[in-house]
Structure 1
């Protein structure tokens, strides 16, 4: 079992809650109200911009140019898949990019983005990679777990959004990120408890993000 497998096994409870969250289930079945999906897309677009910044921070911490390049290539691949897909979806949802980037992130989204930024800024490059891994990996597992529901999904926009996470390109991104971490598992295992704490917290934020979108969370004042 590699390091990422071990981390995943230790947060089974959280990932099970993610896979069965009403937002996820309804999205893949096509019963999710469109206004909830619109809210999610706006929040997630802003989150993905922060994620890209985090990857740049992680890359800057490596002295090994090969590892630096790998992380930057992952960032570019993500921009070319997720963000590009969102750019296509915005007009279909009646949204403009100018509007989306001006929307105030929700409390949960703000907390998650700040957690990633602080971890990637103040922690090691490896801590940063472990912090962003749940975001990438849970989306792959969600898509794979609900693919049967997707086949009967009557909402074109939901199917098109989900197909990105079932693509070989996206699966390659996740596998590449896991490989980078696993190849240094013997070295990183010395700090396993700290890495597990980071991985668990990021996984909790992934759950909270879906829940935030389902509730269309706003600021109290």
Structure 2
């Protein structure tokens, strides 16, 4: 089996956990409380801001012109398209300037971003890519799985439409081929590449859980204090 086939099998628990998480299911059937979606979108905007920076750092480590162009184009696309979308959605969700200025990433968001920064700063471009690939891949599979859903909520329908597009499928197929190439070029790093990939898959699942529970920096401490 090639790298992406192997790692997809090995991380199926996290993919299935994402497919069946009540947060995702709530988007699909329209039952998700809008305040949880608002929380998710604010956390996601923070995540994407740093995702673009990580892509830019990866571009600086890439060794071929094609790879440099890929990372810079991806960085520009996310910054111009997805972050603009988030700002538009922020208006629909009634996100205030005070909420934006006083925003603090939840523990899981902070840990996920830190994990990706660790991969890109301390490893080569192949390690960075292993850490950032699970995000678009998992979203694409969610979109494909639920492409025929009709949640009856405008924001949720738009979310499904974005991640179920044929264009995204083409991009993910290209990225999987790219990851396979990196794995072939760095056979002594297979375990490390899989480790980065698996951690990101775990954090993708945690992102749903975090948004479902409205995770913050006090909840777990308060729970263990009184349990």
- Give 1:184 shift: 3.6
Q: In the aligned structure 1, how far is the partner of 2:174 from the partner of 2:80?
A: 16
2:53 matches 1:53: yes
Structure 1, unaligned runs of 5 or more: none
Partner of 2:205: 207
Secondary structure (helix, strand or coil) at the match of 2:186 reads helix
Partner of 2:155: 157
Partner of 2:224: none
Deviations 1:26-56 (A, max 9, x none): 1111000001000000101001001111101
Q: In the aligned structure 2, how far is the partner of 1:101 from the partner of 1:167?
A: 33
Native 8 Å contact 1:30 1:158 kept in 2: yes
Native 8 Å contact 2:43 2:109 kept in 1: yes
Structure 2, unaligned runs of 5 or more: 222-227
Q: In the aligned structure 1, how far is the partner of 2:215 from the partner of 2:113?
A: 16
Partner of 1:100: 100
Native 8 Å contact 2:183 2:190 kept in 1: no
Partner of 2:16: 16
Q: In the aligned structure 1, how far is the partner of 2:179 from the partner of 2:29?
A: 34
- Aligned pair count reads 219
Deviates more, 1:12-21 or 1:171-180: 171-180
Native 8 Å contact 2:19 2:142 kept in 1: yes
**Structure with the greater relative contact order (CA < 8 A, sep ≥ 6): 1 or 2?**
1
CA-atom RMSD in angstroms = 1.8
2:170 matches 1:195: no
Secondary structure (helix, strand or coil) at the match of 1:179 reads helix
- Give 1:19 shift: 1.0
2:53 matches 1:28: no
Partner of 1:3: 3
Native 8 Å contact 1:4 1:182 kept in 2: yes
* Counterparts in 2 of 1:115 and 1:181: CA distance versus 1, 3 Å: same
| TM-score (structure 2 length as normaliser) | 0.89
